[in-house]
Amino acid sequence: MKHKGSCHCGAIEIELETDRLPKDQVVGACQCSFCRKHNARTFSDPKARAVLIARMPEHIQLYTFGLMTSQQIVCRRCGVYVVMLLSEGDSVWSVINLDTLDDRALFTQAAEPRRKIGQHGLHGARRAGRQRT
Protein backbone atom coordinates (compact mmCIF):
# COMPACT_ATOMS: atom_id res chain seq x y z
CA MET A 1 0.00 0.00 0.00
CA LYS A 2 1.11 3.54 -0.67
CA HIS A 3 0.37 6.33 1.80
CA LYS A 4 1.00 10.01 1.22
CA GLY A 5 1.13 12.93 3.58
CA SER A 6 2.86 16.16 4.48
CA CYS A 7 3.45 18.75 7.10
CA HIS A 8 0.58 21.22 7.59
CA CYS A 9 1.76 23.77 5.00
CA GLY A 10 2.90 21.19 2.41
CA ALA A 11 6.57 22.22 2.38
CA ILE A 12 7.64 18.65 3.29
CA GLU A 13 5.81 15.69 1.80
CA ILE A 14 6.18 12.03 2.61
CA GLU A 15 5.38 8.86 0.69
CA LEU A 16 5.29 5.54 2.49
CA GLU A 17 5.07 2.12 0.84
CA THR A 18 4.41 -0.94 2.97
CA ASP A 19 3.00 -4.43 2.43
CA ARG A 20 1.01 -4.37 5.66
CA LEU A 21 -2.50 -2.97 5.88
CA PRO A 22 -2.81 0.10 8.13
CA LYS A 23 -4.99 -1.82 10.62
CA ASP A 24 -2.15 -4.38 11.00
CA GLN A 25 0.68 -1.89 11.57
CA VAL A 26 2.35 -1.64 14.96
CA VAL A 27 1.93 1.94 16.12
CA GLY A 28 4.42 3.33 18.60
CA ALA A 29 4.37 6.18 21.09
CA CYS A 30 7.95 7.01 21.98
CA GLN A 31 8.25 8.33 25.51
CA CYS A 32 11.19 10.67 24.87
CA SER A 33 10.49 14.31 25.64
CA PHE A 34 10.57 15.34 21.95
CA CYS A 35 7.95 12.81 20.84
CA ARG A 36 5.74 13.39 23.88
CA LYS A 37 5.72 17.15 23.34
CA HIS A 38 4.67 16.50 19.72
CA ASN A 39 2.17 13.80 20.78
CA ALA A 40 3.54 11.69 17.93
CA ARG A 41 2.19 8.31 16.90
CA THR A 42 5.00 6.63 15.04
CA PHE A 43 5.52 3.99 12.37
CA SER A 44 8.61 2.04 11.50
CA ASP A 45 8.84 -1.12 9.41
CA PRO A 46 12.21 -2.38 8.14
CA LYS A 47 10.48 -3.73 5.01
CA ALA A 48 8.73 -0.45 4.19
CA ARG A 49 10.04 2.32 1.95
CA ALA A 50 9.76 6.01 2.80
CA VAL A 51 10.50 8.98 0.55
CA LEU A 52 10.67 12.61 1.68
CA ILE A 53 9.94 15.29 -0.88
CA ALA A 54 11.09 18.81 -0.10
CA ARG A 55 8.63 21.08 -1.94
CA MET A 56 10.16 24.06 -0.17
CA PRO A 57 13.62 22.92 1.01
CA GLU A 58 14.27 26.19 2.81
CA HIS A 59 11.67 25.12 5.38
CA ILE A 60 13.41 21.87 6.38
CA GLN A 61 14.75 22.14 9.92
CA LEU A 62 16.98 19.38 11.28
CA TYR A 63 16.91 19.01 15.04
CA THR A 64 19.14 16.80 17.18
CA PHE A 65 19.13 16.40 20.96
CA GLY A 66 20.20 14.10 23.78
CA LEU A 67 22.73 11.48 22.68
CA MET A 68 22.78 12.92 19.13
CA THR A 69 21.81 9.53 17.67
CA SER A 70 19.00 10.79 15.45
CA GLN A 71 17.82 13.79 13.48
CA GLN A 72 14.26 14.98 13.58
CA ILE A 73 12.92 16.68 10.48
CA VAL A 74 10.58 19.52 11.39
CA CYS A 75 8.97 22.06 9.09
CA ARG A 76 10.41 25.48 9.84
CA ARG A 77 7.29 27.13 8.40
CA CYS A 78 4.43 25.32 10.18
CA GLY A 79 6.30 23.49 12.97
CA VAL A 80 5.12 19.94 12.21
CA TYR A 81 7.45 17.06 13.15
CA VAL A 82 7.49 14.80 10.07
CA VAL A 83 10.10 12.08 10.56
CA MET A 84 13.07 10.95 12.63
CA LEU A 85 16.18 9.66 10.86
CA LEU A 86 18.77 7.35 12.38
CA SER A 87 21.88 6.31 10.52
CA GLU A 88 24.79 3.98 10.98
CA GLY A 89 27.35 3.64 8.20
CA ASP A 90 25.43 3.37 4.93
CA SER A 91 22.18 2.33 6.63
CA VAL A 92 19.38 4.79 7.37
CA TRP A 93 16.22 4.09 9.34
CA SER A 94 13.20 6.31 9.53
CA VAL A 95 10.50 6.67 12.14
CA ILE A 96 7.51 8.39 10.60
CA ASN A 97 5.02 10.55 12.46
CA LEU A 98 1.83 8.75 11.36
CA ASP A 99 -0.24 11.84 11.94
CA THR A 100 1.38 13.49 8.92
CA LEU A 101 -0.26 10.92 6.61
CA ASP A 102 -3.46 11.87 4.80
CA ASP A 103 -5.07 8.52 5.68
CA ARG A 104 -3.82 8.48 9.31
CA ALA A 105 -7.28 7.43 10.57
CA LEU A 106 -6.79 4.00 8.94
CA PHE A 107 -3.97 3.21 11.40
CA THR A 108 -6.28 2.01 14.15
CA GLN A 109 -3.92 0.09 16.45
CA ALA A 110 -3.50 1.68 19.87
CA ALA A 111 -0.10 3.35 20.16
CA GLU A 112 2.27 1.20 22.23
CA PRO A 113 4.53 3.18 24.58
CA ARG A 114 8.23 2.96 23.68
CA ARG A 115 10.91 4.18 26.08
CA LYS A 116 13.77 4.52 23.61
CA ILE A 117 14.18 5.22 19.91
CA GLY A 118 15.53 1.71 19.40
CA GLN A 119 12.17 0.42 20.61
CA HIS A 120 10.24 2.20 17.83
CA GLY A 121 10.46 -1.09 15.97
CA LEU A 122 13.71 -0.46 14.13
CA HIS A 123 14.94 -4.06 14.58
CA GLY A 124 18.61 -3.51 15.25
CA ALA A 125 18.81 0.27 15.11
CA ARG A 126 19.83 0.35 18.76
CA ARG A 127 23.56 -0.20 18.85
CA ALA A 128 25.01 -2.42 21.54
CA GLY A 129 25.95 -0.59 24.70
CA ARG A 130 24.33 2.68 23.62
CA GLN A 131 20.89 3.65 24.79
CA ARG A 132 18.85 6.39 23.21
CA THR A 133 16.15 8.50 24.77
Regarding pTM above 0.85, the answer is no
Asked, for residue 129, whether it belongs to a domain, the answer is no
CATH number at residue 8: 2.170.150.70
pLDDT at 130: 36
| 54 belongs to a structural domain | yes
Residues in Cβ contact with 5 at an 8 Å cutoff, skipping those fewer than 6 apart: 13, 14, 16, 100, 101, 102, 103, 104
97 within a domain of the structure (yes/no): yes
Q: Does a structural domain hold residue 6? A: yes
Contacts of 38 (CB under 8 A, 6+ apart): 81, 97
132: in domain: no
**pLDDT at residue 119 in the model:** 40
Q: What confidence tens digit (pLDDT) does each residue in 13-43 have?
A: 999 999 999 999 889 998 888 888 888 899 8
Q: At residue 76, what is the residue type?
A: R
Q: How far apart are CA 21 and CA 27, in angstroms?
A: 12
Instruction: Point out the residues of the chain with pLDDT beneath 70.
Output: 115-133
The CA distances from residue 55 to 7, 17, 116, in Å, are 11, 19, 31
How many domains is the chain partitioned into structurally? 1
Residue 31, domain member (yes or no): yes
Tell me how far apart the alpha carbons of residues 54 and 14 are, in angstroms, rounded to a whole number.
Answer: 9
The confidence score (pLDDT) of residue 70 equals 86
Is residue 74 included in any domain, yes or no?
A: yes
- Look at residue 133 and tell me if it is in a domain: no
What is the per-residue pLDDT for 116?
A: 57
Q: Tell me, what's the pLDDT at 117?
A: 52
Question: Edge to edge, what strands does the sheet with 91-97 contain?
Answer: 60-63, 71-75, 81-88, 91-97, 42-43, 28-30, 112-114
Quote the domain boundaries for residue 102. 2-119
